[in-house]
């Protein structure tokens, strides 16, 4: 059944360390993150908490712009795809699976770094959740995701009004 494969990941969790940024030879920003995701499952009559840890990589101008807000303990939601890296060292084979982030949303209230903001759909800026993954191209150095050159952050922290009137009745 050709064309039926799917590689989509959505996670909500807390950062386990501050984000780190590096630049690829092409000049593209690569922000690395690690997130802990809690899950409760039932064991007999009790619920047991289980924590899973995931490494993430976020590429492009949006990643560069939001990096300063990606600090340890910050809750985020990401959507992306899985990428498996394989290598051999001293005759032993290794592999590691990472999440290549397509979009990232900062979660939490004003006391938690300014509220909820979304970044990084490949078409640039804030996008509705239904637009995940559109416009991707395959680039080996970016793990299969290369943002379009026009990627930008439209809703930045401390920016101008969101267009909503101040007197919202709720």
Phi, psi of 63 (to 5 degrees): -65, -40
| 50 located within any domain | yes
The one-character DSSP state at 66 is: H
| 115 located within any domain | yes
pLDDT at position 37: 95
Q: What is the average per-residue pLDDT within 7-17?
A: 96
| 161 located within any domain | no
| 22 located within any domain | yes
Total number of domains constituting the chain: 1
| 2 located within any domain | no
pLDDT for 34-87, tens place per residue? 999 999 888 889 999 999 999 999 999 999 999 999 999 999 999 999 999 999
Residue 155 has pLDDT above 50, yes or no: no
> What span, in angstroms and rounded, lies between the C-alpha atoms of 11 and 78?
5
| 87 located within any domain | yes
| 17 located within any domain | yes
Residue 71 has which token pair? 């600090």
Domain that holds residue 131: 9-142
| 98 located within any domain | yes
pLDDT at position 117: 53
Q: How far is CA 117 from CA 14, 108, 169, in A?
A: 15, 9, 22
pLDDT for 97-131, tens place per residue? 999 999 999 997 544 544 555 555 443 333 333 33
């Amino acid at each position: 059944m050709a064309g039926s494969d799917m590689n989509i990941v959505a996670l909500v969790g807390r950062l386990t360390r501050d984000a780190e940024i590096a630049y690829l030879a092409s000049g593209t920003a690569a922000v690395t993150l690690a997130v802990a995701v809690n899950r409760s499952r039932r064991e007999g009559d009790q619920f047991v908490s289980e924590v899973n840890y995931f490494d993430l990589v976020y590429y492009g101008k949006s990643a560069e712009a939001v990096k300063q807000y990606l600090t340890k303990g910050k809750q985020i939601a990401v959507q992306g795809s899985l990428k498996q890296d394989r290598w051999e060292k001293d005759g032993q084979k290794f592999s590691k699976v990472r999440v290549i982030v397509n979009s990232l949303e900062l979660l939490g209230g004003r006391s938690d770094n300014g509220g909820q903001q979304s970044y990084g759909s490949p078409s640039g800026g804030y996008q509705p959740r239904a637009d995940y993954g559109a416009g991707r191209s395959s680039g080996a150095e970016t793990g299969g995701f290369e943002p379009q050159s026009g990627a930008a952050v439209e809703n930045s922290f401390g920016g101008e009004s969101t267009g909503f009137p101040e007197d919202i009745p709720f």
